[in-house]
Amino acid sequence: MTTLEVRNLSKTFHKLRAVDNVSFTLTPGRTVALVGESGSGKSTVARMIARLVRPTSGEILLTSSDGEPVPRKAYRDHVQMIFQDPFASLNPFHTVEHHLVRPLRLHGRSRAEVPHLLERVSLPPDFAHRRPHELSGGQRQRVAIARALAPGAKVIIADEPVSMLDVSIRLGVLKLLARLQREENLAVLYITHDLATARHFSDEVLVMHRGRIVEHGPSDEVLTRPEAPYTRQLAAAAPDPDARFRQGGQP
């Protein structure tokens, strides 16, 4: 199983310290949530791990199940990313099949696996011939998840995977991710600004503010009993009808 360790990762854009000395470890079978507002640097962390952005300093270490470091060339066999906007992350020109066959081929697998991949994300096999505009947002995001699984990745970076979806289908996509994570023993980094889903779908939480990790720990503890002032502010700001209608009442 693959473990990804991030050590003292920093990124500076034109003197702005977007990510400042961030360290954490992703281990198989566990989901780590990275929580913060826009501009906090969480997407930059994702893009550095996906090797789309070069870190200014710090290390990203990938260790395979036999304890050996993964060679640079094989990095993308192990680490894949799910993007935020399913309407932008699929090429409108190509079929679903194209989106899955390319990563399969590039990582030495056969195109015969396409139906199986679709099945794993609960899509019927005939979706392979559809093009993105024929799919709904949730179905697109499932295709994007299948694409991330195609190279046989064991570490998945999910950058706000449901924030662009309709609320009634968000839960379905998150449950799918949780199921895949359990079944395939994936290491998942779940990036979100939504504290509630962070708590429900992750084992550990990192709270990021202005490029730094201000609080981290088991998700239940951090999010129900926040210590850092910033985390408290975040928790208090989320809309909470309970507070309005059941003040002082029973839970």
Partner 1 sequence: MTNLSPLTEVAPEVPRSRNRWRGLLPRWSPKLGTGLGLAGAIVLFGLIGPLVTGDPATIRDFGLTPPGGEHLLGTTVTGQDILAQLAHATRGSLQIGLLVGIMATVLSGVFGIVGAYAGGVVDEIFSLFSNVMLVIPGLPLVIVIAGFVPPDQRGTGTISLVLAITGWAAAARVLRAQTLSLRNRDYVAAARVSGEKTWRVICVEILPNLLPILASQFVFAVVLAILSEAGLSFLGLGAANSSTLGTMLYYAQNGFALQRDAWWWFVPPGLIIALFGGALALINFSIDEIINPKLRDRARRARDVVAVETDTAAAEQDAVLTVKNLNVVYQADTPVHAVKDVSLTLRRGEILGLAGESGCGKTTLAYAINRLHRPPAEVTSGSVTFHDRDGEDVDVLALAPEELRAFRWVKLSMVFQGAMNALNPVTPIRAQLQDVLRTHRPGMPASDREKRCAEVLRLVGVDPARLGSFPHELSGGMRQRVMIAMALLLDPQVMIMDEPTTALDVLVQREILNEIKRLRDELSFAVVFITHDLPLLLELSDRIAVMRDGEVVEYADAEEMYLRPQHPYTRELLASFPGLNDDRGALIR
- Residue 175 tokens, joined: 């449950």
Sign of CA dihedral 107, 109, 111, 116: negative
* The binder of partner 1 chosen from 201, 205, 208, 222 (CB under 8 A): 201
Q: How many residues bind partner 1 (CB under 8 A)?
A: 75
Q: Smallest Cα–Cα separation from 4: which of 41, 55, 53, 50?
A: 50
In what order do the strands lie in the sheet containing 79-82?
Answer: 79-82, 155-159, 187-192, 31-35, 204-209, 212-218
- Please identify, using beta-carbon distances, which residue of 67 and 251 lies nearer to partner 1: 251
Piece of the chain touching partner 1 by CB under 8 A; list 3-11, 17-25, 64-72, 194-202? 194-202
Query: Is residue 243 part of the contact set for partner 1 (CB under 8 A)?
Result: yes
Piece of the chain touching partner 1 by CB under 8 A; list 19-27, 55-63, 73-81, 110-118? 73-81
- Please identify, using beta-carbon distances, which residue of 115 and 172 lies nearer to partner 1: 172
Amino acid at 174: L
- Please identify, using beta-carbon distances, which residue of 9 and 135 lies nearer to partner 1: 135
Q: Are 104 and 181 in contact (CB under 8 A)?
A: no
Q: Shortest Cβ distance from residue 213 to partner 1 (Å)?
A: 18
Q: Are 10 and 166 in contact (CB under 8 A)?
A: no
Subset of 3-62 contacting partner 1 (CB under 8 A):
37-38, 47, 50-52
Task: Give residues with Cβ within 8 angstroms of 188, minimum separation 6.
Answer: 26, 30, 31, 32, 155, 156, 158, 177, 181, 202
Q: Shortest Cβ distance from residue 28 to partner 1 (Å)?
A: 18
Subset of 90-149 contacting partner 1 (CB under 8 A):
90-95, 102-103, 106-107, 122, 129-131, 133-139, 144, 147
Element (H, E) at 117: helix 114-120
- Please identify, using beta-carbon distances, which residue of 52 and 67 lies nearer to partner 1: 52
Query: Is residue 179 part of the contact set for partner 1 (CB under 8 A)?
Result: yes
